């Protein structure tokens, strides 16, 4: 991907000039999980209603809360798998920005995602940091994730402790990778956390093994 990808705009906001974002989600929703991504100055740039009950996971990232301007299509390749892979496509053109593969077994103790470009070449990874095992026992502990492209950190996400809302600050660095893809990686990391924390009962471990 070329540096020109950084000139993409979302909802009138140039991602080339934005390097701080906030992902928010309310604690409770019954039939879907709603995620909002804001710029550092509070402009909404991404809106996702993540469905709870689907055999094959797929959802649309919109530019607006009215869901009138689709931005990205995110689709799981498998219905059941150990290592789930998600294709990230640009809405409209359906051009592939890249893919994200979650390491299912490894995620039992620390989330890790392998990042690939449109040609299926591995370009980096995203990984949970900090006391990950303790967080699986005590979900109120805040999380951190690092996104690496090659040997360069392109994003760092850390959770802020809040009552009644989950909030994550994302700081990015300029790179040749489309910033929409980087934010999609962060969204999937947050979704994996939310899904894990909402599970209850003896099927929890099996769910993580099947891709979480």
Q: Which residues pair with 212 in a beta bridge?
A: none
Per-residue confidence at 4, pLDDT binned at 50, 70, 90?
A: very low
pLDDT tens string 99-127: 999 876 556 678 899 999 999 999 999 99
pLDDT tens string 45-96: 999 987 766 656 889 999 999 999 999 999 998 765 566 899 999 999 999 9
Task: Please say whether the beta carbons of 127 and 138 come within 8 A.
Answer: no
Buried b / exposed e along 89-105 (16+ C-beta atoms within 10 A): bbeeeeebbbbbbbbbe
The most confident of the ranges 10-24, 48-62, 179-193 is: 179-193
C-alpha gyration radius of the chain:
16
Domains of the chain (ranges; CATH) run: 3-209 (2.40.160.200)
């Amino acid at each position: 991907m070329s540096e020109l990808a950084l000139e993409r705009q979302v909802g009138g906001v140039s991602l080339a000039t934005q390097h701080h974002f906030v992902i928010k989600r309310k604690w409770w929703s019954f039939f879907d999980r709603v995620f909002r991504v804001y710029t550092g100055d509070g402009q909404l740039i991404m809106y996702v209603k993540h469905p709870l009950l689907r055999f094959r996971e797929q959802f649309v990232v919109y530019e607006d809360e009215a869901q009138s301007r689709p931005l990205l299509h995110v689709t799981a390749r498998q219905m059941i798998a150990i290592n789930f892979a998600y294709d990230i496509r640009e809405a409209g053109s359906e051009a592939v920005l890249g893919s994200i593969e979650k390491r299912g077994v490894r995620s039992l103790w620390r989330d890790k995602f392998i990042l690939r470009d449109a040609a299926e070449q591995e370009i980096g990874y995203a990984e949970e940091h900090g006391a990950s095992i303790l967080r699986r026992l005590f979900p109120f502990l805040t999380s951190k994730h690092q996104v690496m492209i090659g040997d360069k950190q392109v994003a760092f996400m850390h959770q802020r402790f809040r009552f009644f809302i989950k909030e994550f600050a994302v700081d990015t660095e300029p790179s040749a990778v489309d910033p929409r893809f980087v934010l999609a990686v962060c969204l999937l990391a947050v979704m994996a956390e939310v899904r894990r924390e909402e599970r209850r009962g003896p099927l929890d471990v099996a769910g993580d093994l099947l891709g979480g």
